[in-house]
Amino acid sequence: MTTLTIEISEKAGKTLAELVEQLGGKVISVKESKKSNKEAKKKQLLDDLEESVNFVKLHQQGKVDAKTIQELLDEL
């Protein structure tokens, strides 16, 4: 299947979307995709940050051991 990205007026977009669906295609709104993609990235960033903060708290409490700089460099 081929994916096609185009920029057209909103009015023409509705007509074209109907035509694409009649031809058996699937229409993905770029505006919605970009917005949901941005929200997904924001959520992932916040989740990662929360996980990092929790790890630091556990490390400060002595419940987990963090890797040294040398251990991190050795993994590269």
Domain extents for the chain? 10-75
The per-residue pLDDT for 33 is 54
Q: For residue 30, what are the contacts with CB-CB under 8 A and spacing of at least 6? A: 5, 7
Opening angle at CA 20, ends 16 and 25, nearest 5: 150
Query: Could you read off the pLDDT of 7-52 as tens digits, one per residue?
Result: 777 777 878 888 888 998 888 765 655 666 788 889 999 999 999 9
